[in-house]
Chains A and B, each alone.
Chain A
Amino acid sequence: MKAFFLPSIKLTIILIVLLAGIYPLAIAGIGKFTPGNGDGETVTYKGRVVGFANIGQKFTKDKYFSSRPSAANYQADASAGTNKGPSNPDYLKTVSAAIDTFLKHNPTVTRSQIPAELVTSSGSGLDPDLSPAGAQIQVARIAKVRNISADKINSLIAANTEKPLLGLFGPAKVNVLKLNVALDELK
């Protein structure tokens, strides 16, 4: 073992410099030229930074599109999922309660129209998106609170919908924060 000890230590030190020093610094240098300059892309409203494009936010007011339920309560320094199993009786009760709450806030919606993502929590607790259906189902409520036509809001959703990658891969989605900013900008 002795013959291997010193070379091991030296090799370790050199590789720490290369792999934990030089490599990430090079990536950080390249990151300066990316959108957001490597600090994370932000969203602004009226000249004020109101959040990060990729980090979901909590929206409790009826005039905004609400995001998905979150085990982290959208605290972006403590990401978490519920980790509840699909057969857990307590978990199923919370889903059932979330359905009731949603129906109370959206009285024109029927139960069978609610997409599951609106009553289940995401993996990160910071999911920034909804499916287009998850946004459309909230239109009637928002139209009523804001006193604007449903058509206007629907076209806003259409404008903010990101299609599958190259039109081929993965689901379509709507960024809730960007959508709500667009909503506020309507007036």
Chain B
Amino acid sequence: MMTFDQNAFQIIFTASLIASSCGLLGVFLMLRKMAMTGDAISHAVLPGIVIGFLVSGTQRGLEVIIGAGILGILATLMIDWLRKKARVQLDASIGITFTLLFAIGIILISAFAYRVDLDQECVLYGEIAYLPIDLWITDSGISLGPRILWIAILNLVLVLGFIGLFYKELKLTSFDEKFGIVIGIPASAINLGLMSMVSYTTVSSFEAVGAILVVALLVVPPATAFLWTRQLSRLIQLTLSIGVIVSIFGYYLAYLLDSSIAGMMVTVAGILFFVSVILTRFQVKSRIGTQIEAKAFSS
């Protein structure tokens, strides 16, 4: 029953690429205690997607990505504004921002329903299973393979480029923002850059895995990796491996149960997370014999 054909490979490969892009950004989001900001952004890009759609007339235009990017940055700025200028507590600022922007997105979809062929359900939970039949065909009629695969490759290349270029800055500002500012790193520009990458990745992935599941891929693999290690390079390696494992098992389990691949990927990620919690707890307990190690762990 388990088959490994070209379709399976394409889906698993694309899913791994998306999981990697999300995981790479997610590590930094988590270290900055911005996991929920990432969640907020993935919802807040909706009006940007709709406006981009209205401007370009297609779900695949560059305008959609630009619109989403702008809304992602807008959401970041609004959360910041509510927190610093209006002095609303951070969690409430996040809640107010993403619900307002998401609501505006749904209103826009409803208002232009006759022009926007944008399924709310698709935005929320996508469908990667149709990937092999959605091909990128050039004007001269040559098929270049699945369209979403190319989108995912481009996304990962840009994410890798961003992180490669600003690795030092991201690392410093994630661990000690004030020190970063002192030695001359433009922390708020780096932050906005990271947030625009998160918005771009959300849009780039929502066709395949949907907005809410993007959040899962942003947050769960890094959180799982964090249970095992605190070292940034190991954290990134582990997150990437978890992304690949989640894609493989997610695909086959969804195949077995005949259900959503994206949903199953998150379920697998969740199982990995809870298994890790239990295993690392067990590890801590068996270690506690020596006082020093226990102390080192709690510091």
Partners in one complex: no
